[in-house]
């Protein structure tokens, strides 16, 4: 007789340390520079969709554009975009926009998040060690590879879920449930917090 689906046992199969962020903020603009400096951060890895722009976009949203510019200046040569984008035309446009305006390269490799190899490729571009690098993403599912390497994971709320395909909403619901219960199951402060 097959196993009965049990969401609690499924959650327990994952190592909770790899599925929870080190920091959690409302958006990229709310991530304080002081916290990054206190953690010894010298490199930044960014996600695109719903972190820099709404899903499907190619140019940084006006809500975070100033903060992105600050980060691109402060971490010049040690910042990159790591995306799972599949549309080659869109990827070319993003590469041009980020490269020309902000000087931020796009990691283009065989491996995708949450693969450790994807993060290793990003670290090659930032030229920083894992423990001195932060990764900013809006998806819990992207965290394991970064957490396994020792990268500081910064979860931000999505700019807009309404721009995403509806199937993504199910994943977001599961992520919210995970974040809402992980601190109860594993004594991890997965509720909104900053700088601990």
pLDDT at position 15: 65
Give the domain extent around 64: 17-163
Asked, for residue 178, whether it belongs to a domain, the answer is no
CATH number, residue 71: 3.40.50.1000
Asked, for residue 180, whether it belongs to a domain, the answer is no
Number of structural domains (the chain) is 1
Asked, for residue 4, whether it belongs to a domain, the answer is no
Integer Cα distance of 48 and 59 in angstroms: 9
- pTM metric for this prediction: 0.82
Asked, for residue 41, whether it belongs to a domain, the answer is yes
Asked, for residue 53, whether it belongs to a domain, the answer is yes
Averaged pLDDT in 10-residue chunks for the chain of 196 residues: 41 63 92 96 95 91 95 97 90 92 89 92 97 95 92 92 77 73 45 44
């Amino acid at each position: 007789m097959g196993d009965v689906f049990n969401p609690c046992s499924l959650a327990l199969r994952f190592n909770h340390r790899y599925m929870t962020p080190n920091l959690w903020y409302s958006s990229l603009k709310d991530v304080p520079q002081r916290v990054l400096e206190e953690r010894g951060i010298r490199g930044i890895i960014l996600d695109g969709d719903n972190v820099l722009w709404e899903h499907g976009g190619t140019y940084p949203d006006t809500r975070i554009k100033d903060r992105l510019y600050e980060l691109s200046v402060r971490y010049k040569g040690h910042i990159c975009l790591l995306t799972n984008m599949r549309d080659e035309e869109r990827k070319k446009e993003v590469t041009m926009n980020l490269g020309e305006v902000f000087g931020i390269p796009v990691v283009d490799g065989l491996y995708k998040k949450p693969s450790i190899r994807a993060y290793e490729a990003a670290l090659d571009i930032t030229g920083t060690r894992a423990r001195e690098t932060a990764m900013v993403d809006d998806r819990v599912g992207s965290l394991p590879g970064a957490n396994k390497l020792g990268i500081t994971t910064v979860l931000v709320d999505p700019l807009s879920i309404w721009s995403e395909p509806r199937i993504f909403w199910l994943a977001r619901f599961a992520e919210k449930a995970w974040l809402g219960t992980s601190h109860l199951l594993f004594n991890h402060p997965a509720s909104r917090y900053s700088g601990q």
